[in-house]
Amino acid sequence: MELPFEVTELARGDAALARRALRLQLDAHRLEVEWLNYPALPVMWPDLAALHSCRDRILAAFEGNELRGLLVTSRGSDGGMHIERTVVDPAHLQQGWGYRLLNRALQGEDRVSVDTAEVNQAAIALYHKAGFVLEQRWNTTDGLALWRLVYRPSAAPALALGADGWMQGAQQLPSPNCDERSPGCAPELLVIHNISLPPYRYGGAGVEQLFSNRLDPDEHPYYQGVHQLRVSSHFFIRRDGHLLQFVPVGKRAWHAGVSSWRGREKCNDFSIGVEMEGCDFEPFSEAQYRTLAALSRELRRGLPLSAIAGHEHIAPGRKTDPGPWFDWRRAQDDSGLGF
């Protein structure tokens, strides 16, 4: 299967790729100088020699064989990570490349900082989206206002399952795509999915619109093939950890489709569906895992849940989500549920 995108370490020994990386960085630098109206902005690598001598970690984002962006990080004496520069091909801005690089760089990190110009609102919005908050503001000697942002992923929400099946602490958006469970069936299985609409893009209203039958087929080409689906999930966890609920837990959400678990078919009858905003090709966020932990613990207090599985496990060969980046050991430890 051809990957829609990939984020990996830059192979500096590949001479052609190194030249492409240098050219992308210089093109992005010229655009940033123009945006900031700040000619004194230093160039990260003026030439190939500077790139090859750089001791910092360099992540590269690819679409097929095409280089789309770079993210450079250094390591402080305290072990914390500092983002030196995030650069995206100027011809491919507003396509999610900065977030993909940042999302990969943050995996396993808890102390991360970055400096950016106050007027660079696109960069500030990107870092806020990934969980950064303002720590310090200062001016350079020639008057450029700078911000230092530090990584502070959202804390787990305070949740309480109501007698009506709605989770207090979640945003409630009732979906018509649900019905009663079969007689004698209670939720025993927590099923994890991933979803993004449009594919590989996060933060929009597509998922809520799909689950409420309001997806506009003219808004994006991909929607032409899915807007008539009648599907839902009980819960949806956004990249920033925000929790939405579409179906009360006592009812059957339409998330599993043709499925079986331990020899039992029709998993919708005895499961709770949780959609993680994401895809098969990149890690989920720290904030999402924190929310999933809080959600699964609260569900266990009120429901006879005994196991956790992915859509890929109850519909093998048909579904692949949540995919290879999902941390099953963490999810099991956090929830107390077996596989």
pLDDT at 270: 98
pLDDT at residue 46 tops 80: yes
pLDDT at residue 322 tops 90: yes
Cα distance between residue 70 and residue 55, in whole Å: 15
Mean pLDDT of 84-91: 97
Mean pLDDT of 250-269: 98
| pLDDT tens column, 210-233 | 999 999 999 999 999 999 999 999
Mean pLDDT of 77-88: 96
| pLDDT category of residue 1 using cuts at 50, 70 and 90 | low
pLDDT at residue 95 tops 60: yes
Structural domain spans, the chain: 6-151, 160-335
Q: Hey, what long-range contacts does 199-204 have (CB within 8 A, 24 or more apart)?
A: 199/4, 199/279, 200/4, 200/5, 200/96, 200/279, 200/281, 201/96, 202/96, 202/99, 202/238, 202/239, 202/277, 202/278, 203/129, 203/238, 203/239
pLDDT at residue 2 tops 90: no
> What would the two tokens of residue 316 be?
């093998």
286 is catalytic: no
Mean pLDDT of 99-118: 96
The CATH topology of domain 160-335 is Lysozyme-like (3.40.80)
Residues facing 236 on adjacent strands? 244, 275
**229 Cα distance to chain centroid:** 24
In the chain, % of residues over pLDDT 90: 98
**pTM score:** 0.94
Largest CA distance in the chain: 73
Domain 6-151 has CATH 3.40.630.30: yes
pLDDT at residue 339 tops 90: no
Mean pLDDT of 34-61: 96
Choose the catalytic residue: 188, 275, 277, 312.
275
| pLDDT tens column, 141-181 | 999 999 999 999 988 999 999 999 999 999 999 999 999 99
Q: What is the mean pLDDT of the chain?
A: 97
| pLDDT tens column, 9-22 | 999 999 999 999 99
Mean pLDDT of 277-302: 97
| pLDDT tens column, 230-250 | 999 999 999 999 999 999 999
